[in-house]
């Protein structure tokens, strides 16, 4: 039902012998989700994970996207390319959860819920952060993940096609209508979390793939998100721009925080520095919990 990726070729932040110290808070769960594909969920998740690891935090990652396993592929590529180059880069404790093959929907949901909760409980005892990368669409594992989120990160391409998953938009009047499919999905998950006695989800919408020009639609999307954020309760943060470098790094499993260590690429270019800065700005905007005692 779930398995651990064979990533022993890379270094990772090692937990203490007894796991997390007694009295520390349970792991902070970060869910990267959006029902639409192609918005940069796995790239966003990877940069969050590596940033936390480079801060010396104990991080686990869980891939829930059995159709693509994009995050798992990132780490497999990272293993292969760094082993070939003879260098070591930080890596989380990485797991995948497979959908149940049970005959009935009810039995499948029971099995998925059991394994999901078992894994999260286990990881929470020895990690500070658990980052879950969700598949697109409305799947039970994705609902489970969203309802367990302390921080929900929703990457969103800066277009009205993606905006439509959050709310209806009248192109003639510019009026933002009622919540749409994904906003309603998140609302249901918030209710489930509240009924279970959990704290409120900090929902952060990342404006990914922003153009560098001051386009008319860019301003309209921004105004629409601002109006909607006050109605349905999310924060808006800068995401990752449309840059060739992010696509170039996937086959190597690298992030913008690793490129300076990878041999054969040369020094950092101005575009690299700008990309690293936007990663830092994204992480800062998430306002994740500091290390104990910080």
The CATH number of the domain holding residue 226 is 3.40.50.300
Q: Is residue 6 part of a domain?
A: no
The answer to whether residue 74 is domain-embedded is: yes
Q: How far is CA 165 from CA 36, 136, 154, 195, in A?
A: 8, 12, 11, 25
Question: Is 119 within the bounds of a domain?
Answer: yes
Backbone angles phi, psi at 274, to 5 degrees: -65, -40
Please determine, for residue 70, whether its predicted confidence score (pLDDT) is greater than 80: yes
Q: Do the beta carbons of residue 43 and residue 73 sit within 8 Å?
A: no
- Please report the pLDDT score of residue 8 as a whole number: 37
In this structure, is residue 147 part of a structural domain?
yes
User: Which range marks the domain in which residue 148 is found?
Assistant: 27-286
pLDDT tops 80 at residue 17: no
Say whether pTM exceeds 0.75: yes
Within a domain: 277: yes
> Where residue 248 falls among pLDDT bands split at 50, 70, 90?
confident
* Total domains present in the chain: 1
Distances in whole angstroms, Cα of residue 65 to Cα of each of 34, 42, 138, 142, 230: 12, 10, 12, 9, 30
The answer to whether position 294 is within a domain reads no
Residue 248 maps to a domain: yes
pLDDT category of residue 4 using cuts at 50, 70 and 90: low
Q: What is the mean pLDDT of residues 273-285?
A: 91
Backbone angles phi, psi at 154, to 5 degrees: -115, 100
Residue 250 lies in a domain: yes
Structure-block tokens of residue 239:
């995401």
pLDDT at site 14:
36
Question: Which candidate, 186, 9, 20, 162, places its Cα nearest to that of 85?
Answer: 9
């Amino acid at each position: 039902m779930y398995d651990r990726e064979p990533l022993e070729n890379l270094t990772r932040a090692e937990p203490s012998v007894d796991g997390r110290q007694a009295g520390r808070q349970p792991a902070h769960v970060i869910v990267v989700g959006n029902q639409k594909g192609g918005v940069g969920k796995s790239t966003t998740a990877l940069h969050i994970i590596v940033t936390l690891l480079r801060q010396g935090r104990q991080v686990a990652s869980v891939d829930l996207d059995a159709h693509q396993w994009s995050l798992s592929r990132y780490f497999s590529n990272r293993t292969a390319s760094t082993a070939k180059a003879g260098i070591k880069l930080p890596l989380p404790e990485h797991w995948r959860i497979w959908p149940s093959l049970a005959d009935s929907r009810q039995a499948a949901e029971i099995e998925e819920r059991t394994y999901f909760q078992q894994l999260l409980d286990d990881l929470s005892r020895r990690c500070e952060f658990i980052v879950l990368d969700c598949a697109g669409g409305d799947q039970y594992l994705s609902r489970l993940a969203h309802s367990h989120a302390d921080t929900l990160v929703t990457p969103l391409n800066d277009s009205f096609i993606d905006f439509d998953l959050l709310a209806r938009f009248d192109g003639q009047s510019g009026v933002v209508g009622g919540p749409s499919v994904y906003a309603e999905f998140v609302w249901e998950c918030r209710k489930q979390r509240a009924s279970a006695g959990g704290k409120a989800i900090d929902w952060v919408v990342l404006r990914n793939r922003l153009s560098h020009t001051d386009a008319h639609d860019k301003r309209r999307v921004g105004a629409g998100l601002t109006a909607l954020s006050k109605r349905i309760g999310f924060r808006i943060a800068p995401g990752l721009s449309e840059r060739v470098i992010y696509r170039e790094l996937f086959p190597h499993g690298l992030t913008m925080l690793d490129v300076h260590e990878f041999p054969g690429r040369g020094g950092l270019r101005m575009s690299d520095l700008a990309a690293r800065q936007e990663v830092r700005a994204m992480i800062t905007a998430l306002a994740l919990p500091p290390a104990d005692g910080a």
